[in-house]
Amino acid sequence: MKITKKDMGCWIDGSFGVDHVNKKLANLLLEYFPACNRSIYNCLVRNKDYDLQYDAQTDAVDLLQTICEEDVEFFWIDGDLILSTCELIGEY
């Protein structure tokens, strides 16, 4: 399954807090990588060390990025996870 331009938009609304972000990322991992290493998933949903959670968020987004078509990528903007193109994001 590839993530394409038709999937562009806000994937995670960060205004609901870090726990919400982590749960949404964990669910995306399960959806797109059902057989993936559960260490990232477990760190996102069970660990309360925010430094480790940040690393797990980065790892999760990097993993999602591997199934994106070349013309789209994920960006963290003001706490939201956005799928867009570099041209549309510009110098944000």
Q: Is the pTM of this model over 0.75?
A: yes
d(CA 17, CA 14): 6
The answer to whether the beta carbons of residues 84 and 90 sit under 8 Å apart is no
d(CA 92, CA 21): 21
Q: Which domain holds residue 10?
A: 5-89
When divided into structural domains, the chain yields a total of 1
Identify the CA nearest to 26 among candidates 52, 3, 60: 60
Strand, helix or coil at 84? strand
Beta bridge partners of 73: 84
pLDDT tens profile 19-76: 999 999 999 999 999 877 688 888 888 888 878 888 999 999 999 999 999 999 999 9
Residue 83 has pLDDT above 90, yes or no: yes
Q: What is the pLDDT, as a whole number, of residue 15? A: 96
